[in-house]
Amino acid sequence: MLLSLLLLLLLVSGSQATHFLGTMMTYYPEETRADGSVSVILHYKLNFVLCSHSDTWVCSGNCGTQTQTLALSVVEEVSGEWCQREGVITRLLPNNNGFQTKLDNGNWINNIQNGIANWRAVTDVEVRNRSDIGKPNTSPQTTILPALRIPSNCAKNIDLLAFDPDGDEVRCRYGNTSDSECNPCSPPSVLSVSSNCSLSFSPTYSNSELPYAVQLVIEDFPTQDINLIQTDGSQEINHLFSQRS
């Protein structure tokens, strides 16, 4: 139903040059006002090599007005290697039509093995009133650290610990290039993702120390059919299509 895209970097090990190291965004509805306007809060993290690197989310659709509720703040810094910051944006929308917000630029750090140079992260924000919970959707949440370093000669499972505050089923998958979810999406050959958000790493038996970019989409699916109700009263039924695994 609603998507939130997570980019994370898996470092099989090794050193890096410059300069993007992943991002992640989640959102939740704040308030629906009597006049039908809706406020929604977007939390994001940005990881770069240096804290002086930056990029901004661009909105399309029913964007309303934006307030930077929390200015980009450093969460963690390893001088010259790693700077994680977080920020919070509030958008006040004139009605409850949705919007999309995107981080779309370049470049990731050098020597990424699965051919990723440009970064792109996309969040589709659905704020129509859900018939089952009587309020708009909240995106899936996850506690993943956006960079992991693991030995290249050992198999490993990494559980992303994603959950959904609305009680929806959460599923993970790789981004889809034809849906413009990344640029390009080309998943790492050494890693497979299960819909239950478990990443399985296959040993490479290579001595090289190499980074891979891992571009994932985390989606929430209601466990029953629900109606999505627009401010003007029109409705759309949202089904659960895919099978469970």
Ligand X SMILES: *[C@@H]1O[C@H](CO)[C@@H](O)[C@H](O)[C@H]1NC(C)=O
Site string for ligand X, 145-174 (x = CB under 6 A): --------------x---------------
Q: How far apart are CA 129 and CA 93, in angstroms?
A: 14
Site string for ligand X, 86-105 (x = CB under 6 A): --------------------
Q: Which of 37, 69, 198, 202 binds ligand X (CB under 6 A)?
A: 198
Rounded CA separation 183/200 (Å): 23
Beta strands in the chain (DSSP E): 2-11, 20-32, 38-48, 58-61, 65-78, 82-93, 99-106, 118-125, 129-130, 147-149, 156-159, 169-174, 191-193, 198-201, 211-221, 226-229, 235-238
- 236 is a site residue for ligand X (CB under 6 A): no
**What SS3 class is residue 178?**
helix
Q: Is 176 a residue that touches ligand X (CB under 6 A)?
A: yes
Binder among 60, 79, 143, 178 for ligand X (CB under 6 A): 178
DSSP letters along 91-113, please? Answer: EEESSS--EEEEEEEE-BPTT-T
Alpha-carbon distance of 178 to 242, in angstroms, equals: 19
Does residue 179 sit in helix, strand or coil?
helix
194 binding ligand X? (CB under 6 A): yes
Nearer CB in complex with ligand X: 32/47: 32
Quick note: the x/- pattern for ligand X over 114-143, rule CB under 6 A, is ---------------x-x--x---------
CB nearer to ligand X: pick between 187 and 211: 187
User: Half-sphere exposure of residue 149, counting CA atoms within 13 Å on the CB side?
Assistant: 6
With contacts defined by CB under 6 A, name the span among 3-11, 56-64, 192-200, 212-220 that binds ligand X.
192-200
Q: Can residue 233 be called a binding residue for ligand X (CB under 6 A)? A: no
Give yes or no for residue 196 binding ligand X (CB under 6 A).
yes
**In the window 4-63, what residues touch ligand X (CB under 6 A)?**
32
Which residues contact ligand X by CB under 6 A?
Answer: 32, 129, 131, 134, 159, 176, 178-179, 194, 196, 198, 245
